[in-house]
Each structure stands twice: as C-alpha cells, then as structure tokens.
Amino acid sequence: MSAVPVPQVAARVAQVAAGRRGRARRRRSVTGVLLLVVVALFATSLMVGQTFYGPGEVWRVLIGEPVPGASFTVGELRLPRATLGLLTGLAFGLGGVTFQTLLRNPLASPDVIGISSGASAAAVVAIVVFGLRDGAVSLVAVAVALATAAVIYGLSYRHGVAGTRLILIGIGIAAMLNSVVSYVIVRAAQWDLPMAMQWLNGSLNNATWSDVVPLLAALVLAGGVLLLLGRALDTLRLGDDTASALGIAVERSRLLLIGTAVVLIAFGTAATGPIAFVAFLAGPIAARVVGPGGSLQVPAALMGATLVLAADLVGQFLFDTRYPAGVITGVLGAPYLIYLLIRTNRAGGSL
C-alpha cells in the first residue's frame, strides 16, 4: 500500500482548515445579524402602539429623563412587556435547543414532550380550583414542571435514556395533562376563565416588572450553567460511548443539562404561559441559517427572542383583533411539526 504524497496531505489539511474558517465566519455573521434583528424588534416594541414615540423620546425615557406621555406609556407599559418577551424568547430558545441537541431529535422539545403541559395544568388548577393568583400561580407552575420532567425522565430511563422512548412517554404525559386542563376549564366558574385562558394561550399582556425579575434571575443562573456546559452538550451529541471515551461523565452531565433546561423553561412558562412552539422552532431554524458545526445555544436563544418579539408585534398590530403571542407562534409551529413528522416517516424513522 503506497503512502499518500505529502503535498496532497498538506492540501487536504489546508482545505479542511479553510472550511472550518468559513463556517466560523458564517456563524459569527449570522449570530451578529440575529442580534441586530432582536435589538430592532425590541426597539420597535417600545416605539409603536396607539401613540408612536420616536427613537429620541424612547432613549430619553430609558436614561431616566421625564417625557410627557412617553414616561408612563414606554416606561411602565411597553418596556416591561418587551423585556419579558425578550427574556422569555431567550429562555425558550436556549432550553429547547438543549433538549433537542441532548436527545438528538428535533421533536424533543419541552412543549412537545409534556413539560410545558405540566406547567399549564398546574397553573389552571391553581387558578380555578384553589383561587391562587400572580406569584403563587408561577411558583406552582415551576414546581409541577420540574416534577413532570422528573416523572418523564424516570419512566424513560432503562440503562440510559433513549430519545425516542423519552419523547413517546412525554407525548403520553402531555395528553393526560391536557385532558386535566380541558376538564378543569369546563368546570370553571365564569370569572376564572379569562385569566386561565390568557395563561394557557401564552401572552405578554399585563406584563410587569414583578414578572421580569424572577425570569431574569433564572436566565442568568440557569442560562449561564447551560453555556458553561456547552462543550459537554456538543460532545454528548456524538453518542454516549464517544462522549464517555472523551472524558465526559455522561449521566451526570445529562441530568444536569436536563434539570437546568427544565428550570429555564419552567420560569419562562410561569412568566408568560406556554408560548407555543418557540422552544420547538428556535433550534431548527437557527441550525438552518447558521449552518453545520459548532454550538447552537446562542443562535437558538436569539432566534427564540426573535420569534416571541415578532409574534407579539404581529398579534397586536397586524389584524383587526389582538391575538396573544402564543396564538401566532402556534399558527407557525403546527405546520412545521406536521412537516417534520411526514419527513421523518418517509425517511424510515420511528419519530
């Protein structure tokens, strides 16, 4: 067997290095564009409404100068709403892509496998049955979302966690929880229905700084942990055996990643309700625009923020009737879910 000539080896190495540099440049460029889009949508959310305020007036409000009319409208109404939308999108995008990468399946999204359904069922029961409100509802939603994730993980564990088994069990748990929601809604008193339905649809209406602060804390802490575990997440994508050979503590890393992602999704859901399909869509869309190779955590988080902020603007101003952001993202996400199931079935996959 003849040896490969050195010039050919050098040319091949140079070609691979050039490809890596090109993919890195594309990743940086696309991430920068996504960041600019998020900033533009955030600024637009502060400027537009029944009264339009220009960039100068908005900036003066942001730096604390009194501006007649704008100080209240922008500072007390639009700014908490836009901030909550931004943080929720970041949380859903980052948490969703963590699940999808870890389980190597685009269907492994928190709103598909039942975690968001757990938070929804808990919130509806808390509102309708126990008469809880505001922070108490959020606390119950977070606790039950964590418990739902633990149950799904426990039922799917058998000498490790297979992505397909976890997804199927999660879909079954979600169906059960959605049945609970339907039953409670049917039996609810008329005065409880508006709050319960607003929570179920996923909405930024009535956003306040008290909603923003817990989510910001969760995003800083849980999001920081997920970013620090980015190398372990990318390695686990190669398979348990490969990750273990590369020095990753597989089960410990998987549990930590899942637990942290669930915390992030739970706090986001508790703040706004389950804004449908954001966690499901953000990762695949980011993967398409960014290209292969490298971590999707930051691009997916920015894509999640883009989806929530854009959906809120569309729901407020594009139609005669105002729609919650979750209704708009649901209209976008449902066809993609059907397409993904059909494509997977044609490819011969089980999911």
Convert the pLDDT of each residue in 110-122 to its tens digit.
Answer: 888 888 888 888 8
Q: With beta carbons less than 8 A apart as the criterion, state whether 216 and 223 touch.
A: no
Angle between helices 297-317 and 278-290 (to 10 degrees): 120
Task: Match 């969703």 to its residue by tokens.
Answer: 96
Q: Which of 250, 248, 295, 306 is nearest to 86 (CA)?
A: 306
270-308 residues labelled b (16+ CB within 10 A) or e (exposed): bbbbbbbbbbbbbbbbbbeebeeebbbbbbbbbbbbbbb
Q: What is the rounded CA–CA span in Å between residue 99 and residue 254?
A: 10
Q: With beta carbons less than 8 A apart as the criterion, state whether 291 and 24 touch.
A: no
Could you give the dihedral angle defined by the CA atoms of residues 293, 337, 285 and 16, in that order, rounded to the nearest 10 degrees? 20
| % pLDDT > 70, the chain | 90
Q: With beta carbons less than 8 A apart as the criterion, state whether 181 and 119 touch.
A: no
Q: What is the rounded CA–CA span in Å between residue 91 and residue 85?
A: 10
Q: What is the rounded CA–CA span in Å between residue 257 and residue 260?
A: 5
Residue 10: both structure tokens together: 């050098």
Of the pLDDT bands very low, low, confident and very high (cuts 50, 70, 90), residue 10 is low
Out of 152-161, 200-209, 257-266, least confident range: 152-161
- pLDDT at position 5 is 63
The structure's pTM equals 0.89
In this predicted structure, the answer to whether residue 200 has a pLDDT above a threshold of 50 is yes
Convert the pLDDT of each residue in 45-65 to its tens digit.
Answer: 999 988 999 999 999 999 988
Out of 10-14, 28-32, 261-265, least confident range: 10-14
Q: What is the rounded CA–CA span in Å between residue 168 and residue 341?
A: 13
Convert the pLDDT of each residue in 228-268 to its tens digit.
Answer: 998 888 888 877 778 788 788 877 888 899 889 988 998 89
In this predicted structure, the answer to whether residue 133 has a pLDDT above a threshold of 80 is no
